[in-house]
């Protein structure tokens, strides 16, 4: 007998209940990313006040218990009664979804938080929320727990202050982690300060006494300077600004002598990581304008592609749109068709004007793109040559690859190991059903200092790309990736760390979608094997080693320090590093793309002085150095 499906089976979840039942729908996840997103939601309200011209300072405090305070000097949340609700505006804003001033275009012409769910979602997912409002000469307070009021709105008394203070503690029942990372918050707050020139944003960590204030009167011009830190800029920053039909567009760009593209686009302060109409308008106009200028100079002999015009380019595109329409999987791609034409027209006019007025810098920019076009042609020839040799063809896998028998990429893993010795142990110890082994001999090419055509003459890179099956550059297709776990497994010494960094540089610069898809991992082989009373302990860090020696004592112990994977026999390597039941692996993610870019430039780029400074500042932190 089938159970009846009628009106009695329909559930209606309201407000906090709906959010707590499906938190991922509102903040993306209940892990580290969602935890930090709570802070962004509250800060966005303060930034919206700044966009409206009423807020100049924002303070974010991480407390010792990982609760957060966000304070601003805006107008303060309205506290008067809402006749239709029978409640104060303060209570409605903190407890009802889709309630706020974002829908009234007189209050906020543009806004990051468009759906009016931000603060009520934070409240619903916090075990405790306290709010103080300073408005119209009065201070009021109210407290909540898990989205519901625990006090009435209390009038504290008269005040000369203005603004809002929100303190919340994320709910342990919801989140898998409750620890805030200073660097992750600092990255987003720095970004907001760049995008909103003149707004002072301070981050204070009471756990460590660390504190930073972000204030950029130069706005996105300073953002571009920050992107080109440790690089060699080729000219002064080009700044463009304009408004049409209520849409404000601002762009800053500067070329450097590197080969990677660093273009960031924002809509109402939201990082549109999937791009959209504003980014495509920028790319189209950039290519057309540079081609037009190059044609005049060369008599039509040069043809520059869109990719050529973005080699070594650092740029920030920031648009403020009254009614943005977001698309894409993560709702971070702008869909407004009118914005494309507005950005296109702005770049076309202003960039052409700059090139005409600055012939020396114009020549440098065009030469950069022309050289990129030549290198692209050289890369095409090199790729065709490798294809003719049967390499880069999925049917001709490299001889060094010990493949797995499973052909389902989602079930398959590949271990990239250094040298034949480690490769031998790994091949013997692996599970052949789903684990492939690819040994690479020596150090791969440092791609930070090389264009694409050089990579096709690098045997290790060709071997790696062929084994992965996803192609590279114009041929890249993530759907063809043969393994959904790509594990870098190197020795625990300086050489191993260098090889790991070279591989990560390659993945970040040329196969970044594999990182974004969560396919790249770093194996964690043990540093020590400690034996006592016929029992073996596998130790992964020096701290863990010291802790074990309090616990078991030094008398009668045997210690083996592993410097190379080849020192382990096959079953030890399986037990400690490759067995899915017991292994430890780090998933490679990019939380802060700007910081990651700067680190790769610093460690692997051609500028020596910044790297020397970095080494001098961090030398004391280095461990396991072979002398």
Residue whose structure tokens are 């709910």: 171
Backbone angles phi, psi at 552, to 5 degrees: -110, -10
Burial label for 424, CB within 10 Å (0-12, 13-18, 19+), is: middle
CB 482 within 8 A of CB 414: yes
| Residue 491 among the catalytic residues | yes
The residue among 187, 215, 185, 172 whose CA lies nearest residue 61 is 185
Residue whose structure tokens are 């760390």: 497
CB 127 within 8 A of CB 150: no
Q: Which tokens belong to 314?
A: 């650092």
The CA distance from 289 to 348, in Å, is 6
Backbone angles phi, psi at 462, to 5 degrees: -60, -45
Q: Is the dihedral of CA 167, 173, 175, 179 positive or negative?
A: positive
The CA distance from 386 to 534, in Å, is 54
200-205 and 57-62 beta bridge pairing: parallel
Q: Which tokens belong to 430?
A: 């692996």
Four-point Cα dihedral 562, 564, 566, 571, nearest 10: 40
485-489 and 413-418 beta bridge pairing: parallel
Which member of 191, 205, 418, 448 is catalytic?
Answer: 418
Residue whose structure tokens are 């571009």: 224
Other C-beta atoms closer than 10 Å to the C-beta of 484 total 16
The CA distance from 417 to 394, in Å, is 21
Q: What are the angstrom distances between the C-alpha of 593 and each of 252, 330, 600? A: 18, 17, 11
| Residue 361 among the catalytic residues | no
| Residue 418 among the catalytic residues | yes
Which member of 191, 250, 413, 491 is catalytic?
Answer: 491
Q: Which tokens belong to 87?
A: 């409640």
Q: Which tokens belong to 261?
A: 């593209």
CB 278 within 8 A of CB 339: yes
* Residue spans of beta strands (DSSP E) within 329-412: 333-334
- The H-or-E segment that residue 350 falls in is helix 337-357
The CA distance from 362 to 366, in Å, is 6
Which member of 493, 516, 591, 607 is catalytic?
Answer: 493
Q: Is the dihedral of CA 64, 68, 73, 75 positive or negative?
A: negative
Residue whose structure tokens are 């009668």: 556
Which member of 127, 367, 495, 579 is catalytic?
Answer: 495
The CA distance from 421 to 564, in Å, is 9
CA 391 from centroid of its chain's CA atoms: 33
Residue whose structure tokens are 């296109």: 344
* Active-site amino acid positions: 418, 491, 493, 495
């Amino acid at each position: 007998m089938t159970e009846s499906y009628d009106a009695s089976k329909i559930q209606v979840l309201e407000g906090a209940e709906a959010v707590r039942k499906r938190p991922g729908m509102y903040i993306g996840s209940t892990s580290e990313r969602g935890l930090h997103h709570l802070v962004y939601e509250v800060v966005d309200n303060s930034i919206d006040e700044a966009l409206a011209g009423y807020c100049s300072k924002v303070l974010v405090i991480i407390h010792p218990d990982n609760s957060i305070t966000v304070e601003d000097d805006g107008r303060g949340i309205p506290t008067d009664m809402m006749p239709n609700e029978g409640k104060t505006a303060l209570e409605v804003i903190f407890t009802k979804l889709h309630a706020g001033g974002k829908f009234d275009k007189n209050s906020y012409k543009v806004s990051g938080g468009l759906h009016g769910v931000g603060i009520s979602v934070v409240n619903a997912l916090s075990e405790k929320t306290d709010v103080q409002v300073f408005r119209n000469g009065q201070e009021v307070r109210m407290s909540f727990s898990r989205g519901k009021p625990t006090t009435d709105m209390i009038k504290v008394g008269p005040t000369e202050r203005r603004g809002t203070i929100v303190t919340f503690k994320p709910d342990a029942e919801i989140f898998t982690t409750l620890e805030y990372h200073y660097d992750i918050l600092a990255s987003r707050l720095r970004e907001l300060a760049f995008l909103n020139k003149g707004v002072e944003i301070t981050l204070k960590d009471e756990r460590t006494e660390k504190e930073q204030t972000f204030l950029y009167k130069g706005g996105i011009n300073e953002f571009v300077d920050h992107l080109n830190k440790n690089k060699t800029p080729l000219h002064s920053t080009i700044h463009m600004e304009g408004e049409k039909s209520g849409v404000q567009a601002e762009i800053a760009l500067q070329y450097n002598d590197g080969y990677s593209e660093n273009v960031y686009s924002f809509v109402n302060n939201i990082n549109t990581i999937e791009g959209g109409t504003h980014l495509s308008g920028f790319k189209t106009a950039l290519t057309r304008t540079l081609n037009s200028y190059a044609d005049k100079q060369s008599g039509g002999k040069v043809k520059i592609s869109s990719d050529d015009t973005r080699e070594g380019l650092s740029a920030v595109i920031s648009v403020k749109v009254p009614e943005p329409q977001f698309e894409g999987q993560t709702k971070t791609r702008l869909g407004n068709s009118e914005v494309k034409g507005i950005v296109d027209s702005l770049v076309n006019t202003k960039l052409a004007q700059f090139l005409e007025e600055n012939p020396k810098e114009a020549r440098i920019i065009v030469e950069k793109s022309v050289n990129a076009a030549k290198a692209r042609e050289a890369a095409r020839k090199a790729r065709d040559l490798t294809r003719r040799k049967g390499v880069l063809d999925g049917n001709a896998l490299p001889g060094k690859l010990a493949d797995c028998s499973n052909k389902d990429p989602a079930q398959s893993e590949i271990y990239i190991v250094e040298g034949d010795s480690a490769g031998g142990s790994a091949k013997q110890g692996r599970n052949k059903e789903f684990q492939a082994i690819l040994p690479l001999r020596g150090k791969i090419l440092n791609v930070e200092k090389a264009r694409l055509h050089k990579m096709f003459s690098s045997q290790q890179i060709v071997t790696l790309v062929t084994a992965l099956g996803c192609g590279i550059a114009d041929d890249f297709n993530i759907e063809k990736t043969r393994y959904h776990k790509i594990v870098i497994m190197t020795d625990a010494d300086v050489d191993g760390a260098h090889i790991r960094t070279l591989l990560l540089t390659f993945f970040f610069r040329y196969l970044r979608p594999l990182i974004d898809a969560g396919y790249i991992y770093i194996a964690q082989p043990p540093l020590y094997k400690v034996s006592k009373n016929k029992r073996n302990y596998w130790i992964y860090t020096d701290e863990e080693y010291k802790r074990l020696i309090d616990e078991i004592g030094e008398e009668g112990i045997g210690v083996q320090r592993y410097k190379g994977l080849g020192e382990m026999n096959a079953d030890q390597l399986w037990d400690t590093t490759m067995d899915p039941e017991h292994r430890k692996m780090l998933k490679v993610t990019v939380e802060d793309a700007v910081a990651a870019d700067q680190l790769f430039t610093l460690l692997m780029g051609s500028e020596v002085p910044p790297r020397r400074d970095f080494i001098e500042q961090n030398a004391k932190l280095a461990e396991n150095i072979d002398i």
